[in-house]
Amino acid sequence: MQRILEANWQTLLTSALLRGQFLLSPDIAIGLGPQLQSVFNKDASFPDSQKLEQIPVRAYSDDEQVYEDLEQTTEFVIAVFPLKGVMLKYGTWCTYGTLDIAGLIKVAAAKENVSAIVLDIDSGGGSINAIPPIIDAIEYAQSLGKPVIAHCDTACSAAYWSAAACDYIFSDNNLSSTFGSIGVMISFPDLREYYEKQGIKLHEIYATPSAEKNLAFRNALDGDYDLITKEMLDPVALQFQEAIKKYRSSKLAIDTPGILNGKTFSGTDSVNIGLADTIGTLSDAIKYASNMALAKEFVNNY
């Protein structure tokens, strides 16, 4: 299914990296450093061969026939969408944005022959503004009576928020599957010294009635993180916790140390404490989605 790349995707990417708030597992956040530096230094190259023209949406019928495009068949199918890598709202040259994915989920959910949706998740999280489009698409599908199932290898931070909104969560295995990292962080570079070495002196001048403008960021640049923590990070962290408690309800072992404070858990442990529902492969998730759709249809008809 075709995606649309924003004409100013480079500007949107740089803005997200410099100013965005992120829900990321720590190992992903640390590993992004060299990649971000290459983007800022314009060392990153994006050859045409790496451009992603389409999002690989697959459809699976009850007899396990696989279709590479939903338009290939009119029989009832389960549509599977990838949610992988660092989550960003807008797509880049070689990554999908959640706006792209969410739009296609809505298109699929509206099709009469799509009986359920499976999100195939393998992500350590991403930017906060990448979450609402996915949640909106999940809730839209659910409003049409279509089950939405999450199949996850890694589902941390923003990715777990997305998975938790689904009707049922599969942990792919007990070797690499990781869940949790329910917490919020923000990271941005202090470029003042860099610009000064380039002979550039930056001046920020605020109007007298604008004393509070950017104050949290200004304080943080000077090493005072209290305001940015209180005004920006804590409210989102609390909202994250409340969302997980709402979505997972009685399934969540809320008294597990660290479960809502950023700790990560393996596949089996995640099932035991309610972050996931069961261990199973993508094929298992597709079969479950099909059975859940049939059960919903039976209840609605009788």
Q: Domain with 56 in it: what CATH number?
A: 3.90.226.10
Q: Which tokens sit at 134? A: 């996915």
**Using one digit for the tens of pLDDT, what is the confidence trace for 77-133?**
999 999 998 898 887 766 788 999 999 999 999 999 999 999 999 999 988 999 999
Query: Is the CB of residue 242 less than 8 Å from the CB of residue 182?
Result: no
Tens-digit pLDDT string for the chain (302 aa): 455 655 554 555 555 555 555 665 555 555 555 555 554 455 555 555 555 566 778 889 887 788 888 888 888 999 999 999 889 888 776 678 899 999 999 999 999 999 999 999 999 998 899 999 999 999 999 999 999 999 999 999 999 999 999 999 999 999 999 999 998 887 777 888 888 898 998 888 999 999 999 899 889 989 999 999 999 999 999 999 999 999 998 899 999 999 999 999 998 999 999 999 999 999 999 999 999 999 987 777 76
Let me know if residue 1 belongs to a domain.
Answer: no
Let me know if residue 51 belongs to a domain.
Answer: yes
Let me know if residue 273 belongs to a domain.
Answer: yes
Let me know if residue 214 belongs to a domain.
Answer: no
| Structural domain boundaries, residue 286 | 9-190+225-301
The contacts of residue 224 (CB under 8 Å, 6+ apart) are none
Let me know if residue 213 belongs to a domain.
Answer: no
Give the C-alpha separation, 107 to 254, whole Å: 36
Let me know if residue 76 belongs to a domain.
Answer: yes
179: left (phi over 0), alpha (psi -120 to 50) or beta: beta
